[in-house]
Structure 1
Amino acid sequence: MLLVLVVFSLCFTSAQALDCYVCSSATTNEACNQNSQQCQAVHDTCMTTVDIAGASKAIVKQCASKATCNGAAASASTDANGNGNIVTCCSAYNLCNYSGAETIHFQITLLSLTGVLLLLLK
Structure 2
Amino acid sequence: MGKLSGLLVFLLVVHSVSSLKCYVCSSTSNEHCNRNAEECRAPLDTCMTTVDILGQVKAIVKQCSSSRTCTGASGTASLDASGNGNEVTCCSSNLCNLSTATTTQLCTWLLSLSLCLLILLIQQDG
Matched, 1:13 2:12: no
Q: Name the SS of the counterpart of 1:51 in structure 2.
A: strand
Aligned to 2:53: 52
Aligned to 1:102: 103
Matched, 1:35 2:43: no
Structure 1 segments, 4+ long, off by >4 Å, are 110-117
Task: Go from structure 1 to structure 2 and tell me whether the alpha carbon gap of 1:72 and 1:110 turns closer, same or farther (over 3 Å shift).
Answer: farther
Aligned to 2:5: 3
Unaligned runs of 5+ in 1: 118-122
Q: Under a length normalisation based on structure 2, what TM-score does the superposition of the two structures give?
A: 0.81
Question: C-alpha separation between the residues in 2 aligned to 1:14 and 1:114?
Answer: 32
Alpha-carbon shift at residue 112 of structure 1 (Å): 5.9
Matched, 1:71 2:72: yes
Task: Go from structure 1 to structure 2 and tell me whether the alpha carbon gap of 1:41 and 1:5 turns closer, same or farther (over 3 Å shift).
Answer: same
Greater Rg by CA: 2
Equivalent residues in 2 for 1:72-87 (5 A)?
72-87=73-88
Question: C-alpha separation between the residues in 2 aligned to 1:22 and 1:63?
Answer: 7
Alpha-carbon shift at residue 70 of structure 1 (Å): 0.8
- Aligned-residue CA RMSD in angstroms? 2.0
Matched, 1:61 2:70: no
37-46 vs 100-109, which deviates more? 100-109
Question: C-alpha separation between the residues in 1 aligned to 2:39 and 2:60?
Answer: 19
Q: Percent identity of the aligned residues? A: 54
Count how many residue pairs are aligned between Structure 1 and Structure 2. Answer: 115
